[in-house]
Amino acid sequence: MSIGHVLLGLLTERPKHGYELKREHDDRFPGVKPIAYGQVYATLQRLERDGKVAVSGTAKEGGPERVVYEITSAGTDEVRRWLAETEPPAPYVSSALFTRVVLALIAEGTADGYLLRQRAAHLDRMRELTARKNTAGISAGELLATDYALHHLDADLRWLETAPLRIGELTKEIRS
């Protein structure tokens, strides 16, 4: 997913300036790394260069004058094309968790300590997210993002719990 597609999608509602796009990105996509202002403006410049957005004017909202951008028909076509694509499932079977298990076996001869620490970290994070779900006033977007994170953590946790069953064979492979 590119920031360009996200900004184009946000601009389909109405014209907006960069500060507003940054704020909406951070508000509408809870749990996602906040976008930097510089990244917003650099992306808007590329989108303008490529004919996907155009300057529609300026706005002054109690501060400096801000350039307002609107999506063009080429930008709208790009958003529709992008939304019609499916997000490919993870192309690789491996993950950072798996990599650390293998390296723990190589470097330390065991992954037991790592697996226990990682399991505890996952459970702590799941408790934090579950508590957030029960917070008064949580938005529907935050709730959906929290559910997504919880499901991924749960899948990792299930893997962490079954990994010790296979480590014996993996250890033999590594040592041979």
Structural domain boundaries in the chain: 3-84, 96-175
Banded pLDDT at 56 (limits 50, 70, 90): very high
Q: Which CATH number fits domain 3-84: 1.10.10.10, 3.40.50.2300, 1.10.3080.10, 3.40.50.720?
A: 1.10.10.10
Average pLDDT for residues 39-68, to the nearest whole number? 92
| β-sheet bridge partners, residue 53 | 71
Residue 102 carries which DSSP code?
A: H
Model confidence at 92: pLDDT above 70? no
Contact indicator for 111, 105 with CB cutoff of 8 Å: yes
Tell me: the pLDDT tens digits for 119-134?
Answer: 999 999 999 999 999 8
What is the crossing angle of helices 140-162 and 112-133, to 10°? 160
- C-alpha 81/C-alpha 77 separation (Å) is 6
Mean pLDDT, residues 131-151 = 90
Residue 59 binned pLDDT confidence (cut-offs 50, 70, 90): confident
Task: Tell me the three state secondary structure of residue 138.
Answer: coil
Q: Give me 56's structure tokens.
A: 């529609």
Convert the pLDDT of each residue in 151-175 to its tens digit: 999 999 999 999 998 888 888 887 8
Q: Which helix (H) or strand (E) segment is 16 a member of?
A: strand 16-17
pLDDT at 86: 78
Identify which of 71, 44, 70, 66 has the alpha carbon closest to the alpha carbon of residue 56.
70
Cα–Cα distance, 58 to 161 (Å, whole number): 56
Q: Sorting pLDDT into bands at 50, 70 and 90, what band is 106?
A: confident
Average pLDDT, the chain: 89
Question: Is-above-0.75 flag for pTM?
Answer: no
Look at residue 85 and tell me whether its pLDDT is greater than 80. Answer: yes
